Chain A
Amino acid sequence: MLFLALKQLFTQKKQSLLALLGIVLGTAAYVVISGIMLGFQLYIVDQLINNDAHVKISAKETYVTPESVEENLYSEHQIINWKVLPSGRRDNTSIYHPQGWFERLESHPAVMSYSPQIIAQVIARRGKSSVGASIIGVNPEKQMSVTNIKDYIIQGKFTDIGHTGNKIIVGDALLNKMGGAIGENILLSVGKGNPIPFKVVGIFHLGIKGIDDTLIYGALLDIQQLNSTPSQINSISIKLFDIELALPLATQWSETSIDKVESWEQANANFLSIFKMQDIVRNSMTISITVVACFGIYNILNMLVNQKKREIAILRSIGYETSDIRNLFVIQGIILGFIGGLAGLVIGFLICVYLSTMEAGTGLSAKGGTMLVSFEIMIYVKAFLLAFIASLIAGYLPARAASKMTPIEIIRNEAE
C-alpha cells in the first residue's frame, strides 16, 4: 500500500503540507525549548560542579546538649537538675582530623585532587559601606586543581592571592556594591574581631548572583588568622576522576566519619529539584504542542478517509482486505511523522544554532555572554520519537475507522 499512500500524499499536496507543518512546528518547538532549558540547566550544573567540588567534606555543626555538658563537667555519679537547659551551637567548628583526610584522599584512586579550605562569614567595609560576605581561604594552586575558578577571573589572576599577604579576589557584584576597585583595600572582620585590611588583587564573575555578590577568596593562612583559627580548616573540596562516583563515595565516607560529607548533588538538592520541575514543565509544554500538531494529522487523515470512501469501496471490492485499508492510512501517518519529525529536527537545530550566537544580555557567562543552548543528542532522539509515535497514533485512528467501512455501506451512502 506504500505506492498508493505516496500517491495520495503527493496528490493532496496542500493537505499534506498542512499536516507536515503541524508536526514540524511541534518537533522544532520541542527541540528549541529543550535546548534552551537544558542549556541553562547544564550551565548551572557546570557552575555548581566545576566551581565548587564533586564532593565536599565539612565540619559537622554540633549543638550543646545537657548530656554533652554533663559528660564534660560532672562525674557519672552526680545527679544534675538543670534550671535552664544548656543549648546553642558550638563555635569554631572545624574538621576533626584533617591530616587523616589528606592521607586518605591522596591514596584514593578515584580522587583527582583536593583543596583544604577555611570558610568564614565576614563583614566587608569600604568607606561608609559595609556588606556581609563569605570568605574562603584556599591554597590557590590546590583550589585551581579542584575547580575551574580561574576561567571566571575577569581581572587579575587567581594565583595573585598567593599564600599570605592579605590579598583577596572578590565577586564583581560584591565589589560593585561597595563601590570598590582592583588595587584598593577592603576591611574584613570576623565577629567582634578587629578589621584587617585586605588588598583586592582580582575580580571574578561566575554568573550566579548568589555567589558573585557574596563571595571572596583569600589565602588559607590569612583567613585562618582573620578567623582566629590557626591551622584549622572547616572544609575540603574534592575533585574526582569520575563525577558519577560522587554520590556513592560521599555516602560511603559519610558513614565512616564524624565530619559531614556531601556530594554535589546532595549539596545542591534545591537546584536539582528546580530542574526536575523545569523538566516537567518543559515536557508537558512540548507534549501539548505535539499533541495539538497530531490533532492536525488526525483531522487531515480523517478528512482524507471521508473523501476517499469511494476509493475504499473499490479497493475492498477488488480484493483488498481491511488490513490493507488500515495500512494505507497508517503508512501516510508514518510518512508524515517521519518527514515532519526530520524537518522539525533540522529547523529546531538551526534555530538553536542561531540562538546560541545571540547575546544573552544577562551576563550569564564570563565565557562570551551568548545564549546557552544544549545540543544534547537525546533532545533530538526524544523529539523525533515523540513526533513519530504521535503521528502513528494520529494516523492509526482514522485508519482503523476506514478499515471498518464495508464497500456496500459506502456504495449505498453514495447512492443516497
Chain B
Amino acid sequence: MSILTQNISKSFGKPAIKVLKDINLEIKNGEFISLSGKSGSGKSTLLYILSTLDTPSTGVLTLDDKDTSKIEESDLHKFRNLKMGFVFQFHYLLPELTALENVLMPARKTNQELLLEEKAKTILNEFGLIDKHTKKPSQLSGGEQQRVSIARSLIMEPEYIFADEPTGNLDSGNGKLVMDIFKKINKTRGTTVVYVTHDIEFANLAERKIYLKDGKIVNNL
C-alpha cells in the first residue's frame, strides 16, 4: 500500500497561480509524516490531493498502483469511506448528533452502525470520552471535540489518516494530547498518518518531516 505523486502541480484562479510545483513523493504504508511550511506554501493543498479530496492540475497521483484520475467517482467514495480517515482543524462534527453517533457516521454509510457500536465505545473509552458519548458537540470542549473527530476517523480502521492542522484550534495541552493519540495510532495500528502543521514542535514529532516552500518540497527528511 502506498501513495505516489509524479510531477504534481496545482494552480488556482485566473491568471493561474501555481501553489504546488512538480511534487514527487512516495508515502509508504505505516509512515508518520508531517507537512509543514509557511502560510501559502501549499501544504494543505498537497494533503487534500494526497487524500483525493482535491485533484492535481497536472501530474499523476497513484493509490495502491492505481492512477486516481482513472478511478470511478463511486470507487473513490468507497475508498475514502473504508481506507481513509480525516481530521480537520475545525473538527467538523455534526452538531445534531451525539459523540457516539458522530463516531458512527462513516459506519452508517455502509449500514454497519449497529455492528460497530461497541467498537466506537471502545475507541471513545480509549480517548477518555466514554462518559461523554451521549453528549452533543456543543456540550464538549474543543479538545474533546477533536478527540471525537479522531475517533470518527478510526472507526472504519483506515489505512491512512489525513489531518489538516489538527492542533490549530487547541491549546498546547490538548494539542499535545492529540499528537500523542496520532502517534499511538501509528504505532499500535500501523496506520499511515499524514498531518499538516505550522507548529515546529508538533512537526518534529513526525518520523518523516516534509517542509514546503512556495509550492515546492524543500526538505524531506
Residues on A lying within 8 angstroms of B by beta carbon are 3-4, 7-8, 10-11, 310-311, 313-321, 324, 406-408, 411, 414-415
Assembled-state Cα–Cα distance A3/B109 (Å): 11
Chain A residues with CB under 8 A of B108: 3
Residues of B within 8 A of A318 (CB): 80-81, 85-86, 105-106, 109, 152
Instruction: Write the nearest CB–CB distance from A411 to chain B, whole angstroms.
Output: 7
Tell me which residues across on chain B come within 8 A of A321, comparing CB atoms.
73-74, 77
**B96/A414 in contact, CB under 8 A:** no
Q: Which residue of the partner chain, among A311, A319, A408, contacts B82 with CB atoms under 8 Å?
A: A319
Residue of A nearest to B92 (CB): A314
A414 with B90, Cβ < 8 A, contacts A321-B77, A408-B48 known: yes
Q: Which residues of A contact B85 (CB under 8 A)?
A: 318
A7 touches B77 (CB 8 A): no
The chain A residue sitting closest to B102, CB to CB, is A314
A11-B77 Cα distance, complex, nearest whole Å: 28
B52 to chain A, nearest CB (A): 9
Which of chain A's residues have a CB closer than 8 A to the CB of B96? 4, 7-8, 10-11
B115 CB–A CB distance under 8 Å = no
When C-beta atoms are compared, the residue in chain B nearest to A7 turns out to be B96
How near does chain B come to A335, taking the closest CB pair, in angstroms?
14
Question: By the criterion CB–CB under 8 Å, are B80 and A7 in contact?
Answer: no
Q: Tell me which of A7, A311, A319, A408 contacts B109 (CB under 8 A).
A: A319
**Which residues does chain B contribute within 8 Å of A319, judged by CB atoms?**
77-82, 106, 109
Residue of A nearest to B155 (CB): A318
Q: How far is the CB of B54 from chain A (nearest CB, A)?
A: 4
- From 47 to 71 in chain B, residues with beta carbon under 8 angstroms from any chain A beta carbon are 48, 51, 53-54
A320-B81, A321-B77, A406-B53 given; name 5 further pairs at CB < 8 Å.
A4-B94, A4-B97, A8-B96, A318-B105, A319-B77
Cross-chain contact B105 with A315 (CB below 8 angstroms): yes
Please tell me which one of the listed residues A8, A310, A415 contacts residue B92 in the complex, with CB atoms under 8 A apart. A310
Chain B residue contacts of A11, Cβ below 8 A: 95-96
Beta-carbon nearest neighbor of A317 in chain B: B86
Whether A408 contacts B105 by the Cβ 8 Å rule is: no
B109 CB contacts on chain A under 8 angstroms:
318-320, 324
Q: Taking the complex as formed, is B182 at the interface, i.e. its CB lies under 8 A from any CB of chain A?
A: no
A-B complex: 9 closest residue pairs judged by Cβ atoms:
A319-B81, A11-B96, A314-B92, A7-B96, A408-B54, A318-B106, A317-B86, A319-B80, A321-B77
In the complex the two chains form, what is the Cα distance from A324 to B105 in whole Å?
13
Assess the A320–B77 pair: CB atoms within 8 A.
Answer: yes
State the majority secondary structure of interface residues on A. Answer: helix
A324 closest partner in B (C-beta): B109
**Chain A: minimal CB distance from B27 (Å):** 18
Q: Interface readout for B103-137 with A: 1 if CB under 8 Å, 0 if not?
A: 00110110000000000000000000000000000
List A contacts of B101 (CB < 8 A): 7
17 contacts between A and B (CB under 8 A): A7-B96, A7-B97, A310-B90, A311-B95, A314-B105, A317-B51, A318-B81, A318-B86, A318-B105, A319-B82, A319-B106, A320-B81, A320-B109, A324-B109, A408-B48, A408-B53, A408-B54
B211: interface (CB < 8 Å): no
Contacts of A415 in B (CB 8 A): 44
B47 shortest CB reach to chain A, Å: 10
Name the contact of A411 in the complex, choosing from B73, B80, B88, B94 (C-beta under 8 A): B88
Known: A319-B82, A408-B48. A313 touches B92 (CB 8 A): yes
Taking CB atoms, residues of chain B closer than 8 Å to A7 are 94, 96-97, 101
The smallest beta-carbon distance between B108 and chain A, in angstroms, is: 7
Least CB distance, B113 to chain A, in whole angstroms: 9
Residue of A nearest to B96 (CB): A11
Minimum Cβ distance to chain B for residue A69 (Å): 90
* Complex contact B95–A314 (CB within 8 A): no
> How far is the CB of B98 from the nearest CB of chain A, in Å?
10
Give the distance in Å from the alpha carbon of A184 to the alpha carbon of B90 in the complex.
Answer: 95
| Distance (whole angstroms) from the CB of A366 to the closest CB of chain B | 59
Shortest beta-carbon distance from A83 to chain B in Å = 94
Q: Would B90 and A407 count as touching, CB distance under 8 A?
A: no
Whether the Cβ atoms of A314 and B78 lie closer than 8 Å is no
Q: Nearest A residue to B136 by beta-carbon distance?
A: A11
Nearest opposing residue in chain A for B108, CB measure: A3
Contacts of B105 in A (CB 8 A): 314-315, 318
Assembly CA distance A317 to B105 (angstroms): 11
* Nearest chain B CB to A308 CB, angstrom units: 9
A411 to B196, CA, bound (A): 14
In the bound complex, residues from chain B placing their C-beta under 8 Å from that of A317 are: 51, 53, 80, 86
Most B-side CB within 10 Å, residue of A3, A8, A313, A319: A319
Report the minimal beta-carbon distance from A207 to chain B, rounded to whole angstroms.
57
Q: With the chains together, A411 CA to B85 CA distance in Å?
A: 16
- Partner pick for B86 among A3, A4, A314, CB 8 A cutoff: A314
Which residues from chain B contact A411 at a C-beta distance below 8 Å?
Answer: 48, 53, 88, 164
Chain B proximity of A214: nearest CB distance (Å): 69
Given contacts A319-B80, A408-B48, contact A311 B94 (CB under 8 A): yes
What is the distance, in angstroms, from A373's C-beta to the closest C-beta of chain B? 42
**Which residues of the other chain, A, contact B51 by a CB distance below 8 angstroms?**
317
Q: Which of B21-58 contact A (CB under 8 A)?
A: 44, 48, 51, 53-54
CA distance A414 to B97 in the complex (A): 21
In the complex formed, the residue of B with least CB distance to A312 is B92
In angstroms, Cα B85 to Cα A315, docked, is 12
Q: Quick one: closest B residue to A11, CB to CB?
A: B96
Please report the C-alpha to C-alpha distance between residue A22 and residue B19 in the assembled complex, in whole angstroms.
Answer: 48
Q: How far is the CA of A310 from the CA of B48 in the complex (A)?
A: 16
For the complex, give the distance between the alpha carbons of A407 and B101 in Å. Answer: 21
Q: How far in angstroms is the closest Cβ of chain B from A313?
A: 6
Q: How far is the CA of A20 from the CA of B148 in the complex (A)?
A: 34
Measured between beta carbons, the chain A residues less than 8 angstroms from B92 are 310-311, 313-314
Task: Report the bound CA distance from A10 to B106 in whole Å.
Answer: 22
